[in-house]
Structure 1
């Protein structure tokens, strides 16, 4: 069997046509080993062609892959940092677009690789001297050249994989050895040609159909080696209807039988190769054709055994099944630990080309225990958006299941998982999808994801998954099946994608054509699969603004797009009428309004406005976050999923600590003050009726920038934040979420936001109770009008105190960052055990007595221009008063029994503190 490829491109071409890939770099000798020198030749016209016709100096950015590399991105022994020009990495121009580089005196010495480390590949990206131009593999991939073991080796260089050819078609064979050899070429065991040297070439053609094993064997002294490749000569194509009831992809018939169906319009023939037929595209592996589809029945399989397999289409395209529920990746599976994915099947190295699918006859159904689960009403949703990679160091579903108490204790009732289906690479946000039916293995086995969802349902938590159906990336077999290497685009005859995206501003990967029936069918299959197989409760569809063929940036009203989304949502609701359909749309308000009337929910981004408010900047109404209200947008359905933070937005705590405003001693960039501003923002966020979403660790004041290292790079996982002052923020937000989800008033459609300036107010009216939230977003004290709806008793939620309102036009003085929530119904005071401020008594400069005190308190001394602030043990400011010089008593008889801190502030003197107890 053909053992391996001499050149491996980690990108589209390597997965489709390895024969062409080998032309980007050729080597002398043909089979380089680590202990010898090698000259590499780079053809700048191939791959991305970024250095084609370039006339300046060209340099190689180069390193190696070894047995210690975690994946193909883990280059080792890189000679220079990017952009550094050295003589040892400068290429020699052989002709206009052909360059050479001598790597010696040996590969190991050139790179300085340790003696005990096995070099498997040389790694390259070529660049201009100023790094403005790059030469890479197709699709922008790195370029890799195989390094053979330091032993006698023979390899068939051409063809690079099994061959399927027509009768009379010429097939060229080229074999090479790494030392002078006696070489022999056999066809099905019959000697065809022999010779002595470093290579042996021959051309074959066959007049009739059949299967052939071509073998090259050689001897050099006492050493012997061989290599072989399989050839199938095509006969008449069998045609028959696809058996009734089969769907595209894998169909498990019984414990030993699987039927496969491949949808490939315009393709001539297809084979299935895999563990079940030794990866040979022989006569028995050829699929029967039915118009636009090919199908085959696999018999005598072993119950429960995993079989890796691929399709070989039209003799040159190796693709994994687009409907694979598990795939094996030659580049990235090595980066998945045994702890993350126990017993992961090994990739069939030397047998397959690129990513392969996996089938398993007789799979055991998952034992779901969630039949009684009822997802929350959409308007009550409080969603926790989560990227598993940056939430749990182990990045696996089992460990995440162990943290569900943390999430549910916060009051969250839904978790939104960033993409969980297979995407390119391992460490990623996941918006570069490749396989839509396979759970990404970097997070663990699919069965563990099911167990996680089941565990969520047992706690009353809904699970929403992020689904990317705007585009795919180059590893998708749907792309590969119709890919034009010269234009780097999909071909016009592909059934799923637009050749060019109609959106010239916002475009990623390969753009789905959502007006194509094939795309509609595929989208429906994907959504049905995750609803039925994984019991997900909803989808957050990424960039639905792109679900259109209307040219432009997608911001304007688009009736065809509405029709596309309505059709998709209606199909989802035929499967489960309670499914959440959430769109990251961010388009024209009128369009979003119409979509909301059709039962869909829309993301509502208010990051900028809440950020400005939290930082204390209010000019030009920049802190006006009234857009968080669906009523303010003119909607009649609470379908706006509002958020202050998401995976895609800067963290508010980072903004506070980096850019926060200040006045005198009040500085929002101070850590404690910044946390207090997060409490303030939360009070004006969770209390607005309608669904809400927070980003992971926002409840602990996560303060690393979204651009830490880079925007999509891994971020520090700070579970140590779950203590002290940050823990108080968690508790406050938990109390706010509990208030929102338990009280009917927060489902009211009679509410108003007055939030355009420093003093902000929310008014909620409801038969059960009225609510008033007031807050000071300034950096100095403000008097705020609560606009109470009635005189009488109102109750402070966080303090448990009551306030008798006699003047509806009265104001309440609030310190900077302070807020109050008043209700007409007395509620249980939330238990906030963590303190925002930790005060220590300073008896040398500030004395009070008696302590504990009954009501009046003696204070000594009282300098001129002093103010006294009274703070509850929770950190909430509850009173402030001016002190007259030499005033020695204050009346605090209205305070309920408990622990308090008194702060005395005097001009030009540091504040002093004392702890007191009210009897």
Structure 2
């Protein structure tokens, strides 16, 4: 019955009732008692739980109460429903509201012609939102709307956050995020979540999940979310929601097709002839099992999944491989492709080829300029996530220098370079323009921070994903070779910083055996540990005791040597090449297995290039480092703290004597990419003028350099240390881009520091006999030498050199002992100095040094 019809009926009943009354004093009135005035003005709202309330009013004549919703009496009960004139109390009882919506009903009071209508409401059953990600439907359906909720647990970075939260979200299709609604750093209203309560946010995908994502005919089986604050500094882990799609179904693979792996092929891309390629994918987990199907899609089959011979791969259980031979290919065409693998009752994923030399990345390639990477292949419409590329007819690079040998390898001066931050173009083009600068500085090796394909374009590079491909953010394959060739022509070696301790989740071996629930590699992954046994890991930890990992790493090392003619490697975090469980206090303990692993890799390198230079970031037990050094490897030696102390003018912890030992052959450094810059620390914590005066700061850094380059053994410089770069490592975030300051060289004090570096390196290069393990070397560089001056003495059979330094803020007259008397030369001025007594006084101003030699200077 409609409301108005019902009211008319009630009115008629009331009129009849009034007409029957013989009391002419009755009036048509309903007057609320004071305690019920609020109800008469605003109605009554109940919580979702059962409840009872009452209202009181005075009726001028006989009255009636009725609800205007048929069946409402099953939920809302009014007693009494009628009575005589006078003061009346009516009770209103509601049962529990079990729905997700607010319930409303109108209560109508009638006394003669007087009528009052009120709304009685009951709030919906409260939603119990658990911690983490939850949603409104028990089984989300692609063709229905879905409301998601997120309650931040106390461990969440968003806990107690009061700002705006956005959902970075997409459809997980074949192992990749598709139909992502906004870029990571893009804040769109569509993805803005509403805050329901402290730590609780919600977002509704409507009119349906499929329409919200505009996914068209793509099957929707799984949604992925990362919830973040406005700048992304606070975020959740990857979160997922399963979805049912009854409209579009995924491709159904045929039964496994058995076939013997062809001879003379390896995992990856095998060029058979000018029109034929065999692709091989290893797939055998630690339990001896494999996926239920494997197909390949790409340009050669128009990215169409099928069970045809040009798509479905053969299975060879003996080798543990899937394989397919593609025929009638164009030798001069680049082909993009992916593997499509999975289990019938589990997830299906798309994979790139771990051995490919080029990848296409739909999320990052568009941000690489055409000057850095001209004529890049367009990303294919049928691809999902990272795709691999091959070309049968490889470009034939002609090396100008094919037989480069490192000059004086045990006395290298290495320049550590991050291409991203070295020039304005952030790439190899810019670095090429600075090779003359580096040559004039005197360095004879360049160590490139990791250039193997890493996630994104803006990185230090310690997040590798494809090890045989070099990152396009810095240039093309030819550009890398041009740079290396040009370095060799300039007499400089090129060392690659390589990362084999870990890889990101984009690495095909990680994706192939993945635990989506925990967002990490699965326990049956034959390449990776689920969790690193050591405390230093990031991303996903390789198991270097796995023969598969050893085979992969050795193959990659040999490929880089052969393909790019590089001169050696700096291995990142070799302390982590272990399966022994450890803590920070025990990770450096002697580990025989770790030694054997590194020796195995070293042997593989030497097999291809006997003179290759190998550096380890190791920092382990001295016995272990000695064994590795005796095998021919070099080890990093971090002296940042001591040289920062002297740079700031503080004697505490400033001894230099840890810089040199003939075995291990340490690569000593004052700064690396990992440490705070000495020049920055001067500006913050320097003593007196070393904090406030640039000239004094640069002079002190010159003294540092004089007690660094004159010590035997290979040395490393972090880029721009020669200019006194004083931007903090934490500027723009530790691994974020740093500002360029090539204009530093226009400042006379910074230029003086640069020139000191150049002179000191030239001194090493021109007089190698002074810096060999057979020369006589002594030094007084401890904290006890601060007030009496610090000294270094070097002697060969024909030459002698003495370095004297004053790191203090007061001028000093120091007692100096010369190894021989006679004619000496001031290396900085070229002046002759007659030394008559082996022991004599030498005046050295504050923040200054002197170098005296028995041979003429060639400045």
SS in 2 for 1:438: strand
Task: Work out whether residues 125 and 135 of structure 1, in 8 Å CA contact, stay in contact via their aligned partners in 2.
Answer: yes
User: 1:716 matched to which residue of 2?
Assistant: 739
User: 1:101 matched to which residue of 2?
Assistant: 203
Task: Give ranges in structure 1 of 5+ residues lacking alignment.
Answer: 1-21, 33-37, 81-87, 106-121, 146-156, 160-171, 176-228, 831-919
User: 1:579 matched to which residue of 2?
Assistant: 612
User: 2:772 matched to which residue of 1?
Assistant: 747
Q: For 1:58 and 1:684, locate their aligned partners in 2 and report how far apart those are by CA, in whole Å.
A: 53
Q: For 2:265 and 2:162, locate their aligned partners in 1 and report how far apart those are by CA, in whole Å.
A: 54
User: 2:722 matched to which residue of 1?
Assistant: 699
Q: Does 1:596 align with 2:629?
A: yes
Change (3 A) 1:57 1:471: closer
Task: Work out whether residues 63 and 77 of structure 1, in 8 Å CA contact, stay in contact via their aligned partners in 2.
Answer: no
Q: Does 1:347 align with 2:379?
A: yes
Q: Does 1:373 align with 2:373?
A: no
Q: How many residues align?
A: 681
Q: For 1:25 and 1:472, locate their aligned partners in 2 and report how far apart those are by CA, in whole Å.
A: 36
Which one of 433, 453, 460 corresponds to residue 422 of structure 1?
Answer: 453
Q: Does 1:319 align with 2:323?
A: no
Q: For 1:27 and 1:324, locate their aligned partners in 2 and report how far apart those are by CA, in whole Å.
A: 43
Higher Cα Rg, which structure: 2
Task: Work out whether residues 686 and 740 of structure 1, in 8 Å CA contact, stay in contact via their aligned partners in 2.
Answer: yes
Q: For 1:256 and 1:826, locate their aligned partners in 2 and report how far apart those are by CA, in whole Å.
A: 65
Which moves more between the two structures, 290-299 or 778-787? 778-787
Give the TM-score taking structure 1 as reference length. Answer: 0.69
User: 2:275 matched to which residue of 1?
Assistant: 256
Which one of 668, 678, 686 corresponds to residue 652 of structure 1?
Answer: 678
Following superposition, the deviation at residue 779 of structure 1 comes to 0.8
User: 1:814 matched to which residue of 2?
Assistant: 844
Which one of 243, 257, 272 corresponds to residue 237 of structure 1?
Answer: 257
Once the two structures are superposed, residues 412-464 of structure 1 have per-residue CA deviations (whole angstroms, 9 ceiling, x without a partner) of 11000000011111110010111101111111111111111111111111000
User: 1:864 matched to which residue of 2?
Assistant: none
SS in 1 for 2:692: coil
Following superposition, the deviation at residue 716 of structure 1 comes to 0.2
Q: How does 1:786-865 map to 2 (within 5 A)?
A: 786-828=816-858, 830=859
Which one of 378, 389, 399 corresponds to residue 430 of structure 2?
Answer: 399
Which one of 557, 564, 570 corresponds to residue 590 of structure 2?
Answer: 557
Change (3 A) 1:59 1:816: closer
Task: Work out whether residues 75 and 123 of structure 1, in 8 Å CA contact, stay in contact via their aligned partners in 2.
Answer: no
Q: For 1:57 and 1:646, locate their aligned partners in 2 and report how far apart those are by CA, in whole Å.
A: 36
Following superposition, the deviation at residue 342 of structure 1 comes to 1.0
Change (3 A) 1:694 1:232: same
SS in 2 for 1:686: coil
Task: Work out whether residues 418 and 460 of structure 2, in 8 Å CA contact, stay in contact via their aligned partners in 1.
Answer: yes
Change (3 A) 1:806 1:253: same
User: 1:453 matched to which residue of 2?
Assistant: 484
Which one of 269, 273, 276 corresponds to residue 297 of structure 2?
Answer: 273
Q: For 1:135 and 1:535, locate their aligned partners in 2 and report how far apart those are by CA, in whole Å.
A: 43
Task: Work out whether residues 64 and 77 of structure 1, in 8 Å CA contact, stay in contact via their aligned partners in 2.
Answer: no
Q: For 2:312 and 2:190, locate their aligned partners in 1 and report how far apart those are by CA, in whole Å.
A: 47
Q: Does 1:72 align with 2:183?
A: yes
Following superposition, the deviation at residue 230 of structure 1 comes to 6.6
Following superposition, the deviation at residue 808 of structure 1 comes to 2.0
Q: Does 1:306 align with 2:408?
A: no
Once the two structures are superposed, residues 42-86 of structure 1 have per-residue CA deviations (whole angstroms, 9 ceiling, x without a partner) of 2559xx99999x9989975128899xx999333145899xxxxxx
Task: Work out whether residues 322 and 476 of structure 1, in 8 Å CA contact, stay in contact via their aligned partners in 2.
Answer: yes
Task: Work out whether residues 167 and 227 of structure 2, in 8 Å CA contact, stay in contact via their aligned partners in 1.
Answer: no
User: 1:42 matched to which residue of 2?
Assistant: 148
Q: For 2:719 and 2:857, locate their aligned partners in 1 and report how far apart those are by CA, in whole Å.
A: 29
SS in 1 for 2:708: helix
Q: For 1:55 and 1:808, locate their aligned partners in 2 and report how far apart those are by CA, in whole Å.
A: 71
User: 2:45 matched to which residue of 1?
Assistant: none
Task: Work out whether residues 358 and 470 of structure 2, in 8 Å CA contact, stay in contact via their aligned partners in 1.
Answer: yes
User: 1:540 matched to which residue of 2?
Assistant: 570
User: 1:511 matched to which residue of 2?
Assistant: 541
Change (3 A) 1:683 1:127: closer
Following superposition, the deviation at residue 515 of structure 1 comes to 0.8
User: 1:880 matched to which residue of 2?
Assistant: none
Change (3 A) 1:628 1:490: same
Task: Work out whether residues 58 and 128 of structure 1, in 8 Å CA contact, stay in contact via their aligned partners in 2.
Answer: no
User: 1:61 matched to which residue of 2?
Assistant: 165
Following superposition, the deviation at residue 346 of structure 1 comes to 1.9
SS in 2 for 1:794: strand
Q: For 1:102 and 1:250, locate their aligned partners in 2 and report how far apart those are by CA, in whole Å.
A: 45
Following superposition, the deviation at residue 784 of structure 1 comes to 2.4
Q: For 1:486 and 1:77, locate their aligned partners in 2 and report how far apart those are by CA, in whole Å.
A: 28
Once the two structures are superposed, residues 778-820 of structure 1 have per-residue CA deviations (whole angstroms, 9 ceiling, x without a partner) of 1111222332012212111011112222222212111111101
SS in 1 for 2:554: helix
Q: Does 1:736 align with 2:736?
A: no
Which one of 228, 232, 247 corresponds to residue 174 of structure 1?
Answer: 247
Following superposition, the deviation at residue 683 of structure 1 comes to 0.8
Once the two structures are superposed, residues 536-555 of structure 1 have per-residue CA deviations (whole angstroms, 9 ceiling, x without a partner) of 11000000000111111321
SS in 1 for 2:406: coil
Q: For 2:817 and 2:693, locate their aligned partners in 1 and report how far apart those are by CA, in whole Å.
A: 32
Change (3 A) 1:342 1:601: same
Once the two structures are superposed, residues 346-378 of structure 1 have per-residue CA deviations (whole angstroms, 9 ceiling, x without a partner) of 2224x2221111111212221122123222232
Q: For 1:70 and 1:811, locate their aligned partners in 2 and report how far apart those are by CA, in whole Å.
A: 75
Change (3 A) 1:55 1:718: closer
SS in 1 for 2:839: coil
SS in 2 for 1:307: strand
Q: For 1:260 and 1:510, locate their aligned partners in 2 and report how far apart those are by CA, in whole Å.
A: 26
RMSD: 3.6
Q: For 1:388 and 1:70, locate their aligned partners in 2 and report how far apart those are by CA, in whole Å.
A: 32
Q: For 1:430 and 1:795, locate their aligned partners in 2 and report how far apart those are by CA, in whole Å.
A: 46
Change (3 A) 1:754 1:401: same
SS in 2 for 1:804: strand
Task: Work out whether residues 304 and 361 of structure 1, in 8 Å CA contact, stay in contact via their aligned partners in 2.
Answer: yes
Q: For 1:643 and 1:78, locate their aligned partners in 2 and report how far apart those are by CA, in whole Å.
A: 50
Task: Give ranges in structure 2 of 5+ residues lacking alignment.
Answer: 1-132, 171-179, 208-222
Q: For 1:441 and 1:815, locate their aligned partners in 2 and report how far apart those are by CA, in whole Å.
A: 51
Once the two structures are superposed, residues 286-329 of structure 1 have per-residue CA deviations (whole angstroms, 9 ceiling, x without a partner) of 11112211111111111221111111112512111111211111
Q: For 2:649 and 2:182, locate their aligned partners in 1 and report how far apart those are by CA, in whole Å.
A: 46
Q: How does 1:152-231 map to 2 (within 5 A)?
A: 173-174=246-247, 231=251
Following superposition, the deviation at residue 584 of structure 1 comes to 0.5
Following superposition, the deviation at residue 826 of structure 1 comes to 1.9
Which one of 300, 310, 313 corresponds to residue 287 of structure 1?
Answer: 313
Q: For 1:707 and 1:132, locate their aligned partners in 2 and report how far apart those are by CA, in whole Å.
A: 15
Task: Work out whether residues 470 and 512 of structure 1, in 8 Å CA contact, stay in contact via their aligned partners in 2.
Answer: yes
User: 1:567 matched to which residue of 2?
Assistant: 600
Task: Work out whether residues 168 and 227 of structure 2, in 8 Å CA contact, stay in contact via their aligned partners in 1.
Answer: no
SS in 1 for 2:846: coil
Once the two structures are superposed, residues 808-838 of structure 1 have per-residue CA deviations (whole angstroms, 9 ceiling, x without a partner) of 221211111110111112222x2xxxxxxxx
Following superposition, the deviation at residue 660 of structure 1 comes to 1.4
Following superposition, the deviation at residue 587 of structure 1 comes to 1.4
Q: For 2:603 and 2:233, locate their aligned partners in 1 and report how far apart those are by CA, in whole Å.
A: 49
SS in 1 for 2:518: coil
Task: Work out whether residues 528 and 540 of structure 2, in 8 Å CA contact, stay in contact via their aligned partners in 1.
Answer: yes
SS in 2 for 1:785: strand
Task: Work out whether residues 60 and 126 of structure 1, in 8 Å CA contact, stay in contact via their aligned partners in 2.
Answer: no
